[in-house]
């Protein structure tokens, strides 16, 4: 009726009365449509603008353009022009006459003049006490580094100690350090003493694991991930252009999502605030055990929620059987 009223010049009063009568005895959804007809039938320019902004002449595209127009009207800031602050008018600047021109007599200073700056003394040399203190500190630090008890024993030193026969001396790890005190002799207690002449001392040593990890022999993570069929929604949506359908569902988006979950299919849901197609709930139905290049069992769905617990849906799938099942679920 809105599209017909856009083509006609005057809407008959009988039609307006019938719409008002329908408004009084209908639900919320039909009352909202009656209000839209009553308001937009009086504004021909706005109605023609909505008709020209539609992608096609189908009813779902016209409803989508109508909902988009109402959403833009609700987001538009309503500001009265009388509330806009106005800046006060600017006054022309008139320079004041100089005091030197008004009175020829020179004026005296009202404060005392500043004193002349005094020269700053040069920096003093470093005192002998501070230099002597720094020398003592440096010598104390040097003595700490030369203390053999403060040295760190490396794992190589421990292995050399275990391989020596007498276990009484240890070579110094840094060649430049001197005056190393020998470590205390540690006796290694074995359950069975090996016979003399057999170099089995290495069995008593601590086994040091290699710090380098060997690469796993199983399949890599990249090959495992590539074997899983994960489609980006926009790529999937653009690849399924041949099998498309759309319509209007009287149920809410939560109810539609529960119906799709009852199909026992693998679903991937993208929230409405994420790209692409922001504002729409994106759902991809993935096939089970199919090859990545096959489009059998693959479908992409977009849901747009309305104010009256209903939603507008778009469906793309090249699998005719799956497309018929999803269409029957959405109706």
- Going from N- to C-terminal start, the domains of the chain cover 2-73, 229-330
Cβ within 8 Å of residue 218, ≥6 positions away: none
Only one residue has tokens 């030193």, namely 157
pTM of structure? 0.34
Taking a C-beta distance cutoff of 8 angstroms, is the pair 266, 283 a contact?
no
Start-to-end Cα distance in the chain: 24
Q: What is the pLDDT of residues 229-253, one digit of tens each?
A: 344 788 888 888 888 888 989 899 8
The DSSP bridge partners found for residue 303 are 281, 313
Question: What radius of gyration, in Å, describes the C-alpha atoms of the chain?
Answer: 45
Taking a C-beta distance cutoff of 8 angstroms, is the pair 278, 330 a contact?
no
Q: What is the pLDDT of residues 70-113, one digit of tens each?
A: 788 777 655 444 444 444 455 555 555 544 454 455 556 676 77
Tell me the CB-side half-sphere exposure of residue 208, using CA atoms within 13 A: 10
The DSSP bridge partners found for residue 300 are 284, 316
Higher pLDDT, 18 or 161: 18
Q: What is the pLDDT of residues 112-121, one digit of tens each?
A: 777 778 877 6
Helices (H), the chain: 2-7, 13-24, 28-40, 44-52, 59-75, 99-102, 128-146, 155-163, 221-227, 233-239, 253-261, 320-330
Reading the block at residue 100, the tokens are 């030197």
Q: What is the CATH number of domain 229-330?
A: 3.30.310
């Amino acid at each position: 009726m809105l599209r017909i009223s856009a083509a006609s010049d005057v809407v008959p009063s009988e039609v307006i009365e019938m719409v008002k009568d329908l408004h009084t005895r209908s639900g919320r959804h039909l009352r909202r449509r009656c209000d839209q007809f009553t308001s937009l039938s009086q504004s021909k320019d706005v109605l023609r603008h909505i008709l020209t902004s539609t992608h096609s002449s189908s009813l779902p595209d016209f409803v989508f353009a109508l909902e988009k127009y109402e959403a833009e009207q609700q987001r538009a800031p309503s500001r009265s022009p009388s509330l806009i602050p106005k800046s006060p008018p600017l006054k022309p600047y008139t320079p004041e006459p100089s005091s030197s021109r008004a009175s020829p007599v020179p004026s005296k200073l009202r404060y005392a003049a500043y004193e002349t700056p005094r020269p700053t003394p040069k920096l003093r040399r470093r005192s002998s006490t501070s230099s002597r203190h720094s020398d003592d500190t440096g010598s104390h630090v040097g003595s700490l580094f030369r203390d053999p008890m403060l040295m760190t024993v490396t794992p190589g030193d421990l292995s050399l100690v275990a391989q020596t026969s007498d276990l009484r001396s240890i070579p110094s790890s840094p060649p430049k350090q001197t005056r190393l005190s020998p470590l205390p002799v540690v006796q290694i207690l074995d359950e069975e003493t090996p016979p003399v002449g057999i170099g089995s001392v290495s069995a008593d040593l601590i086994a040091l694991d290699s710090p380098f990890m060997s690469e796993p022999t199983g399949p890599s993570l990249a090959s495992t991930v590539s074997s899983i069929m994960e489609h980006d929604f926009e790529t999937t949506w653009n690849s399924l252009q041949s099998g498309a359908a759309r319509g209007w569902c009287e149920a809410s988006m939560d109810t539609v999502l529960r119906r799709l979950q009852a199909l026992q299919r693998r679903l991937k849901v993208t929230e409405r605030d994420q790209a692409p197609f922001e504002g729409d709930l994106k759902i991809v139905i993935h096939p089970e055990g199919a090859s990545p290049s096959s489009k059998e069992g693959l479908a992409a769905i977009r849901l747009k929620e309305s104010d009256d617990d209903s939603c507008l849906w778009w469906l793309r799938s090249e699998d005719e059987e799956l497309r018929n099942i999803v269409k029957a679920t959405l109706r």
